[in-house]
Amino acid sequence: MEVKKSKWDDDDDLVEPVKRPRKEKKKAIVKETPPPRILPTKSAAPPVHLTPDVRSTPPPNVPTPPPPQPRRLVAQSPFLQGCRHVDNYEKLNRIEEGSYGIVFRARDRETGDIVALKKLKLEKEKNGFPVTSLREISTLMMCKHPHVVNVREIVVGDKLDQIFIVMDFVEHDLKSLMEEMQSPFLSSEIKTLMLQLLSAIALMHDHWIVHRDLKTSNLLMNNRGEIKVADFGLARQYGSPLGNMTQLVVTLWYRAPELLLGQKEYSTAVDMWSIGCIFGELVNKEPLLPGKSEIEQLDKIFKLLGMPDEQTWPGFFKLPHAKNINFAQQPRGNLRARFPYLTENGFDLLSRLLAYDPEKRITAEEALRHPYFSESPPPKDPALFPTWPSKGAGEKRKVYASPSAPQAQHAALDDDLAGSIFAPSTESTGFRLKLGANALK
């Protein structure tokens, strides 16, 4: 029975369907308990929507409620319910093991979906649940973005210290993928990947979250040309004013100079430096600054970019560790020489990402609008990316006994694109197939 159909009834698109059907808990109506019942005033709400979440539509299938029953359908917000048991998943194989814990590949017994289970290491914890894991889980659950790895839920084992994060399984990580590839990504592909990465980081920064461990091995990639930012083990929210944060963050190769030099307060710019290093690595298919120690890391940075001075980095000489460093004067860097094939715009983006002064370093939001992404060639549609065998799923690359045909060899002479494992036929033919949804929107 349809009574007073409000104008909200139609925009069903606001209400996202709950992804995982949980049978009995589909009732989204919140009923209030005792206090005075006031007859509802008929509210003709103006189309002002500060948040898309609340009071969207009275659900169409709800039978006419008696007057004092409020009808509040809150889309998307989770239910109050405990963690499920890990037995809901069937372990398939171990993907990797690190200091943080073990990652398994597993199958959801109910839906058959393949997922990744990350088991947290909780031994010898004196202060309850470790704050780093807490940050990892809470930031990951906050960051719902097409290019951030999707956390489905947290499940527990029989004991209180067995905690697993259930994430979508993603086939590759960018680092081992690049090791397997024979030639670097195409520039159109690099643009797509960079845009995806930047959009995810822009969202995080917009919501006061710093990742603090961006590197190619923490960027997962699926077989549909999408990367997913993962491993939020060092991520945390920051505030204004910036509180105390440890300088011991970010894997050395991707660590920003202000961290290496012991600057007390730092913020989102450290992520942007890491993105600069990742950009360079994508272009050259080798790490940009593979230092072995902190001193060597700084030395490599200075060699690449030249020594900073009062102009490029005001306040540089006041940094805690700046006095202790006495490197040979290297007024000019060799960044351009390392990237001979990068266009002017591409080079400009790279040098802005690798700006010494954190204040001047480009932000994710600005980088997304950089002209590099609008010049030719345009970013490749993710649907057109090639696929590779997945290491995590235990798939192996087919090894061909015979040497490859000569065609690849001389083709590579005049065109560095041809003969790569992703023969870019769609690009050279001058038109682009529109396949699937454009994930960059």
Strand-pair partners of 219: 229
Distance set, CA 327 to CA 252, 403, 416 (Å): 19, 48, 38
Single out the catalytic residue among 13, 53, 213, 414: 213
In the complex with other proteins, the residue whose CB is nearer, 10 or 125, is 125
CA distance 263 to 351: 21
Looking at residues 346 to 405 of the shown chain, list those that interact with other proteins (rule: CB under 8 A). none
Which range of residues in 29-37, 111-119, 308-316, 360-368 is near other proteins by CB under 8 A?
29-37
Letter for the amino acid at 97? E
**Closest CB to other proteins among residues 168, 348:** 168
Q: Which of 200, 224, 85 is nearest to 154 (CA)?
A: 85
The rounded distance, in Å, linking the Cα atoms of 110 and 24 is 15
Place of tokens 């995810």: 200
Give Cα 80 distance to the centre of its chain. 27
150 counts as binding other proteins under rule CB under 8 A: no
Q: Which of 3, 61, 81, 112 binds other proteins (CB under 8 A)?
A: 81
| Position among 43, 61, 376, 425 found at the interface with other proteins (CB under 8 A) | 43
DSSP per-residue string spanning 291-302? -SSHHHHHHHHH
Structure tokens at 43: 């509210």
To which residue do tokens 């930012």 refer?
229
Q: How many CB atoms lie within 10 A of CB 171?
A: 19
Separation of alpha carbons 6 and 176, rounded Å: 54
Is 213 labeled as catalytic in the residue annotation?
A: yes
For other proteins, the closer of residues 125 and 395 by Cβ is 125
Q: Which residues contact 373 (CB under 8 A, 6 or more apart)?
A: 191, 194, 195, 379
Select 242 or 421, whichever has its Cβ closest to other proteins. Answer: 242
Residue 233: CB minimum distance to other proteins, A: 15
Residue 78 in the binding site for other proteins (CB under 8 A): yes
What is d(CA 388, CA 312) in angstroms, rounded to the nearest whole number? Answer: 42
Among the listed residues 207, 292, 369, 410, the single contact to other proteins using CB under 8 A: 207
* CB closer to other proteins, 144 vs 360: 144
Q: Is 137 in the site for other proteins (CB under 8 A)?
A: yes
Q: Annotate each residue in 230-269 with x if it binds other proteins (CB under 8 A) or - if it does not, as one string.
A: ------xx-x---x--------------------------
Task: Identify the residue among 109, 144, 285, 323 touching other proteins (CB under 8 A).
Answer: 144
Write out the catalytic residue numbers. Answer: 213
Q: Which residues bind other proteins (CB under 8 A)?
A: 16, 25, 27, 29-36, 38, 40-41, 43-46, 48-55, 70, 74, 76-83, 127-129, 131, 134, 137-138, 141-146, 153-154, 156, 160-161, 199, 203, 207, 236-237, 239, 243
